[in-house]
Chain A
Amino acid sequence: MNNRGYYDRFGGAFIPEILVATFDELVTSFTEAKNDPGFWQSYQDILASYSCRPTPLTYAENLTRYCGGARVYIKREDLNHTGAHKVNNVMGQGLLVKRMGKTRVIAETGAGQHGVATATMAAKFGFTCTIYMGEVDVQRQRPNVFWMERLGAEVIPVRDGTRILKDAINEAFRDWVRNMDTTHYVLGTACGPHPFPEMVSYFQSIIGKEARDQILKIEGKLPRRVYACVGGGSNALGIFSGFMDDAVELVGVEAGGKGLETGRHASRLCSTDGSVGVAQGYKTYFLQDDDGQMKETHSVAAGLDYVGVSPILAHLKETGRVRFESATDREVIDALSLTIQKEGLIPALESAHAFVQALKEAPALSPTDAIIINQSGRGDKDIFTVADAFKDPKWQEFIKKKAEEYHA
């Protein structure tokens, strides 16, 4: 491997020797695909026929009026099959798996969206599938676990470490080093060793390409700002990539959890708690202690609850090309509630982070400005968490009744 995927001082491929040959094969296969003039077309075609692409860009008339500033547009990644942008990356990697002649896929998942997307792709392409998911996330994202299992995937709850996304990634690597002859690891975000950050961003760039064309068609000009939530960074890089060379401000919103001052958050870039380190195969900002041990993170959104962040975003933070903000759990629930009521849209808890910041900033912008929020996914999966946050009495009643039925 010659190009080791560095974005200035971030990235790289810190992999055990046993995986070197597998990564070489993956880099070769990805490079060949990228250079194959038919590949991007076949990728677009499968997403068009299977996943509703291009996804619409929705003008949020009521939120616009409510904020009284910029015109608010929403990129509807929630309308993808399986309900989030994750499917873009997954179908792309699925096509690579076919090219490499492998028969089994594994993945980590936090919110469960990437797991469901991978299980779906495996069902469609005829691969066997194993999903690693932290035990905490298995609890809070039960509906997605149910669907992954119905789709034929084996879901393995990970009980080590902090029992969330990073621990699921470790277990997926442990599986891969045993089974790399038959197995591809479908990493779900723009993190991990090279070529994953580049490859996942490449597939997700379809969001930004579409959004740019769409806003130009509707508004006749570029937006002032584009907002996206940042877990590992894939939906953010996906939409940002379309506007990277334009005079458009890009805003990434991290999980503020209980508030940055409490230390219970997952803000690696916008808090002062992150520092540069190397883990899970790449160099970036991590939430770690001064020995270099990873810390526990917190977010109401499982998909943002992660210690590391894309090396590409770490680089864009240092160059100043992307601004980073955070949204607390409380603000997220409020923004979700508002968006549901005003627009009839149900963003995922992850996506609602982007809404928080956009709705804070929109009022100060001019009515001639447009902004885009990337609605990375839909909130159905979060029904248990959201119902708890709203302390919905009818829902609680329903759950109690349901439990009684199972006892009978």
Chain B
Amino acid sequence: MLESYIKTRRKEKRILLMTHIVLGYPTFEDSAALIDTMVNAGVDLMELQIPFSEPIADGPVILHANQKSLATGTRIKECMSFARTIARSFDIPFLFMSYYNILFTYGLDQFAAKMADYGLKGAIVPDLPPEEGKDYLIAMNKYRLAPIYIFSPTTPENRMTYLHSVAKGFIYCVARKGVTGEETTFSNELRDYLERCRRATDLPLAVGFGVKNKADIDFLIDKADIAVIGSETIRILDEEGVDAVGDFIKGLR
């Protein structure tokens, strides 16, 4: 189970790292090289984003990666078979991240069945609040997959409790308002917010949106279980290539 993996791993490490890549960006070979590099650099879990044409919760860096991947002709089928190979080749948990239309169009039960069959552990679907996701939750639970839910700084306590009641694996805490890939101030305000999150759930906490250097990660130690690095690795990949991504990740802990 994802939750127990995280909790066990946390006994060895003060904080875990989760990275995010967009499948087929810039190519599937690059995606494979990137995953290999990230796993060897010590990443503990990974989000594989299936690109979507309307990624409304993503900022410019990930948005462009989505568009460029689709422009090269990326199809869901390829993303699925790629994920299958990857999940079999590496010994860390992989999650799918995508928008609801991708799952809806594929068929929720079929999507979850494939995920389970291929060895993926869970999914993050940022435009699917649990109220709209009854069928999704049924499918995820049926195949013992973790539906990951998101807390945001605007989420009131009673809603955190509600989200906790349907979530599995961990809670993804968005560090601030806005989309992916923007500046976050790692401040007392963030600390207070994470304390609120901690009180609302005993699931591990992942913190994402704007994590981009060792200082950010150090700040999160003892406040969260997982630091999520999303846009920053894509930026480094674009500017300096795959090897630089490996060095960057090794320098984070």
Question: Which residues of A come within 8 Å of B, CB atoms?
Answer: 1, 4, 12-18, 20-22, 160-161, 166, 170, 173-174, 177-180, 277-281, 288, 290-294
Contact = CB atoms under 8 A, between A and B. Distances in A.
Contact of B56 (A16, A288, A291): A16
Given A161-B53, A281-B127, A291 B105 contact: yes
Contacts of A179: 177
A161 B54 CA distance: 8
Closest 10 CB pairs of A and B: A292-B105, A18-B152, A178-B178, A17-B150, A292-B101, A21-B154, A294-B53, A293-B53, A16-B57, A291-B76
A197 to B, nearest CB: 15
Given A161-B54, A291-B102, A20 B127 contact: no
Contacts of B163: 17
Given A17-B150, A17-B155, A160-B63, A292 B177 contact: no
Given A17-B155, A180-B177, 12 more contacts: A15-B127, A16-B127, A17-B149, A18-B152, A18-B178, A160-B64, A161-B53, A173-B56, A281-B56, A281-B127, A291-B75, A291-B76
Interface string B126-143: 111101100000000000
Contacts of A20: 129, 152, 154-155, 159
A278 B151 CA distance: 22
Given A21-B156, A281-B127, A292 B102 contact: yes
Contacts of A160: 63-64, 67
B174 A18 contact: yes
Given A16-B126, A16-B127, A280 B151 contact: no
A279 B54 contact: yes
Contacts of B154: 18, 20-22, 180
Contact of A277 (B70, B105, B178, B179): B105
A31 to B, nearest CB: 18
A178 B104 contact: no
20 contacts: A4-B131, A13-B129, A13-B131, A16-B57, A18-B177, A20-B129, A22-B154, A160-B64, A161-B67, A170-B56, A177-B178, A178-B182, A179-B177, A278-B101, A279-B99, A280-B54, A281-B56, A288-B101, A288-B105, A292-B101
B193 interface: no
B104 A17 contact: no
B179 A174 contact: yes
Contacts of A15: 127, 129
Contacts, number: 106
A4 B54 contact: no
Query: Which of A13, A279, A280 has the most CB atoms of chain B within a 10 A radius of its CB?
Result: A279
Contacts of A293: 52-53, 70
Contact of B54 (A17, A170, A290): A170
Interface string B64-90: 100100100001100000000000000
Contacts of B131: 1, 4, 13
A113 B57 CA distance: 27
B21 to A, nearest CB: 19
B43 to A, nearest CB: 25
Contacts of B126: 16-17
B219 interface: no
Given A281-B56, A294-B53, A14 B100 contact: yes
Contacts of B127: 14-16, 278, 281
B106 interface: yes
Contacts of B150: 16-18
